[in-house]
Structures are given as C-alpha cells and as structure tokens.
Chains A and B, each alone.
Chain A
Amino acid sequence: MKRHQNLIMLIAVVLLAIFPLWLVQKPAPDANGKAVEIFAGADDKAKDLIGEISPDYQQWFEPLIEPASGEIASLLFALQAALGAGFIGYYLGVSVGREKSRRELIEGNTR
C-alpha cells in the first residue's frame, strides 16, 4: 500500500505538470502578426506588469552576469537540479544499504 501511495503521488505530480500543456490554448497572433508566447516565466510577466503600472520606472541595477543564451541558462538550471538530485540519490542509496545491513545484523543475532 505504502509503495503504491508514493507511486500515485508521483503520477499526480506528472499529471499536474502535463495537464496545463493540454488545457491552455495558444492564443491567436497579435496585431503585428507575431505569435504570442505561452508558458513564459511568471517572473517575466511580473516584470511586464511593473512596466504597465509605472511606465516611468527605471531598472537601476543590471545583473552582473547574464547567461549568454537560453541554452546556457537551461544548462545551469539543469546543473542545479542535477546537483540536488545527485545528493538526494546518494543519500537514499546509503540509507537503503545501511537499513539492509542493520536488518541482516539483527537477523544474524537472533539466529
């Protein structure tokens, strides 16, 4: 049951991510015939909204380093996720091994 519970939760996470892709329709191109981008970052949308609310606002500080392209940005995001996932994987591996040897030790003692 427990195993199924985890599996069901992971499937739900995947579905929650896929569902919007199917649900959101691409809007018609704007007046200039340029395609409207969907699934852009919420952070960028907030930036656009700041421009709408206070058009006079000047960005007073620029990022020190910008990723040279979208590809390089996704490389760095992938690296960030890989570092984290790698550590969690290592931890789970160690934990499973330790639990196994602990159990074998107990079984050996009771025999």
Chain B
Amino acid sequence: MHIMEGFLPIEHAVGWTLASAPFVAYGIHAVNKRIKENPEQRMLLGVAAAFTFVLSALKIPSVTGSCSHPTGTGLGSILFGPTAMAPIGLVVLLFQALLLAHGGITTLGANVFSMAIVGPFAAFALFRLAQKLKLSFAVSVFIAASMADLLTYVTTSVQLAWAFPDPVSGFAGSFVKFATIFAITQIPLAISEGLLTVVIMNAIKRFNAPELQTMNLVGRSEVQA
C-alpha cells in the first residue's frame, strides 16, 4: 500500500497530508493521556506498535504472483481505539520512507490515511459490530483485523485511481486496475493477518486478562473460560 515517493501529484500529496494531520495530532494527545492515566498499559501499547512493525516488514507472496505485506494495525485499534494507531502507523511509515525508500515523505499523508486511519477505524467499528452481534471474541478479532488490512489496500487503490483516472474509463476503470494489483493480492494476506492477530490476542488474553478487563474488552466470565 506504499505509494512511492513523488508518485502523487502535488495537490493530492498536500491534500492527504492535511487530511491525516488532525488524526495524528489527536492520536498523540489520546495516547499520552491514556498512558498518564493507566501507566500499566504502556507495555501493551508497545506490543501493539511492535506488532505493526513486524507485520508491515513481512512481504508475503500472494496468489496473484506479486508480494505484499500485512499492516498489523487491527490489534492496536481493538486494544486502544482507532486514534492511537495514527501516530504508531506514522512512525512505521516514516521509518520505511526515510531508511528504505519504501513509500515516501510526499506520499506519507496518503499512506498514513490508508494504513493508520482507515484500517484502524474499520477494525474498531467492525469489532464493535461483531461483538454486538454476539459473535465470539476470536471471530470478532479475526473479522476486524483482516478487514482493516484489506480496506487499507482498497483505500490505496481509491487514492491512486483518484490521482490517475484512466483516460478512457475514468476513475472507475482506473480503480479496478489498481484494486486488481492491491486488493486481490491482499486477500490471502488479510486472512493471515486476521489469524495472527487472533493468536497474539489469545496470548494477551491469557496473560493480561485483568488489563483487558479494565479496558472493557472482555467480560469476567470469558477470562475464566
């Protein structure tokens, strides 16, 4: 989902940066406040960031014959809410843009928007919805994390189709082309991300049940089960 350095027209680059900035600013505020109020959650926040670090570094082959990587943002979004992931995603994307020439400074706003804003908000909303529908904890986590991953890549496709509409078929035609590269490739990876998120969540639930309870994520009965 990394749009390469210099591959968004200037007005798009500026626009996406302006769109992402308030989320990042609010996210930093929200994370600071949370750590001040619940210092014991610091470690878990680190795990959420670390998970994004690992998953976004793993380029995995897909059925379309190209490689892509998961995003890892679903876990942190479920644990800490979607706003916390904007600054975490920014750090990961900045690392890759500056040291790896993967993504870029001019496309940072757009990449933050897809990976660290759309994905986490989708994860959060879907997790809540799944819980309301009385789906099990693991199934809810799986749906939230895998869809956050997939929707990140759909967002990238929208961003590129908007910037580069097809001369004949326009935005829609261009979107289909970009989505074929990104979204189709991403389907098996999204499933993998969903499964890995459930595995790590199982571990957190097993060893840090009291913290998850204070975060209102799991009920008392679920922990004992």
Residues of A near any B CB (own CB < 8 A)? 2, 5-6, 9-10, 12-13, 16-17, 19-21, 23-24, 38-43, 45-47, 49-50, 53-54, 57, 59-67, 73, 76-78, 80-81, 83-88, 91-92, 94-96, 98-99
Contact = CB atoms under 8 A, between A and B. Distances in A.
A41 B67 contact: yes
A60 B203 CA distance: 46
Given A46-B181, A91-B43, A91-B47, 6 more contacts: A12-B192, A42-B181, A53-B167, A80-B54, A80-B57, A84-B54
B51 A88 contact: yes
B202 A76 contact: no
Contacts of B199: 6, 9-10
Interface in B12-70: 43-44, 46-47, 49-68
Nearest to A10: B199
Interface residues of B, number: 72
B7 interface: yes
Contacts of B182: 42, 46
B59 to A, nearest CB: 7
Contacts of A2: 202
6 nearest A-B pairs in the assembled complex, by CB-CB distance: A84-B53, A95-B207, A84-B54, A61-B6, A63-B101, A87-B50
B5 A62 contact: yes
Nearest to B173: A53
B185 interface: yes
Contacts of B130: none
A103 B156 CA distance: 48
Contact of B50 (A19, A42, A88): A88
B79 interface: no
Interface stretch (B102-110, B121-129, B216-224): B102-110
Contacts of A62: 5-6
B98 interface: yes
